[in-house]
Amino acid sequence: MKPIALPVTVWLLLLAGCGGGTTSETGPPVRLTIASPSDMALLRDSSVVVNGSVSPRAAAVKVEGRPVAVSGGHFTATVPLAPGTNLVDVFAGRRGSAPAMVALRVRREVDVRVPELAGATPSDAKDALAGLGLQADVKEAGGIFEFLLPEQARVCETDPSSGSQVPPGTTVTVHVAKSC
């Protein structure tokens, strides 16, 4: 009989510690509100300031896993952003209360450099621009006798010019001709 008593005791202790007994959550649940930024905010900066409030005022707040100071129920934290979509986690908790969590998606848009396309075929120019998130508007240049030349059309210039910094989605005018 003695060997059975120890496993039963361990099982009862585990059950009490895993929610089988009374719950330790006696206070009101934590409420977390994010004032800024909004979900899916589009920014160009390398960081974002997260502002919010928490109730009860004594709740602890973590942004991206780092503790944040809470004053009068309000908090502020600066979060670095990588290019593209970033997920920002905000957690608030207090002993004796159910915690709260909010996840925000913040998009960071970064300018793109227009590549050097002079001499490229129109198809290669379109592909290169599309790979950078840019649109190509191909315009044929040249004179009235252009069709007599045996060469294939090539990029003469772009507008904006190569090396220019532009937002993703910008349309780049690609001027092509057989003779530049």
Q: Given pLDDT bands bounded at 50, 70 and 90, which one contains residue 24?
A: low
- Kindly write down the DSSP assignment for every residue of 106-131, as one continuous string: EEE---EEPPP-TT--HHHHHHHHHH
pLDDT in tens, 44-99: 999 999 999 999 999 999 999 999 999 999 999 999 999 889 999 999 999 999 99
Q: Are residues 121 and 101 in the same domain?
A: no
Q: What is the pLDDT of residues 126-144, one digit of tens each?
A: 999 999 999 999 998 766 6
Domain count, the chain: 2
pLDDT of the residue at 5: 43
Domain that residue 48 falls in: 26-108
- Cα–Cα distance measured from residue 147 to residue 129, given in angstroms and rounded to the nearest whole number: 26
Co-location of 101 and 148 in the same domain: no
Residues 167 and 93 in one domain: no
Report the pLDDT value the prediction gives residue 12, as an integer from 0 to 100.
Answer: 37
Identify the band that residue 152 occupies on the pLDDT scale cut at 50, 70 and 90: confident
- 16 falls within a domain: no
Tell whether 143 and 99 lie within a shared domain. Answer: no
Give the pLDDT score at 150.
72
Going by C-beta distance under 8 Å and a sequence separation of 6 or more, which residues neighbour residue 96?
Answer: 24, 25, 26, 27
Last residue of a domain, one of 55, 75, 108: 108
Binned at pLDDT 50, 70 and 90, residue 1 comes out as very low
pLDDT band at 147 (very low <50, low <70, confident <90, very high): low
- Domain boundary residue, one of 108, 143, 160: 108
* Residues whose CB is less than 8 angstroms from the CB of residue 154 and which lie 6 or more positions away in sequence, other chains included: 118, 119, 120, 121, 176, 177, 178, 180
Question: Would you say how long the chain is, in residues?
Answer: 180
Query: Burial of 129 by CB count in 10 Å (0-12 exposed, 13-18 middle, 19+ buried)?
Result: buried
User: Quick one: pLDDT at residue 8?
Assistant: 38
CATH of the domain at 119: 3.30.10.20
Give ∠ CA 61-62-63 in degrees, rounded to 5: 125
Q: What pLDDT, on a 0 to 100 scale, did the predictor assign at position 26? A: 77
User: How is residue 152 annotated by DSSP?
Assistant: P
Residues 6+ apart with CB under 8 A from 100: 29, 30, 31, 32, 54, 91, 92, 93
Specify whether the CB–CB gap between 24 and 92 falls below 8 A.
Answer: no
Q: Within a 10 A sphere around the Cβ of 155, how many other Cβ atoms?
A: 23
What is the pTM (predicted TM-score) of this model? 0.61
- Give the CA dihedral 62, 68, 70, 76, nearest 10 degrees: -100
Do 64 and 40 meet the contact criterion of CB atoms below 8 Å apart? Answer: no
Question: Residue 99: inside a domain, yes or no?
Answer: yes
For residues 119 and 79, state if they share a domain.
Answer: no
For residue 144, being part of any structural domain is answered with yes
130 lies in the same domain as 80:
no
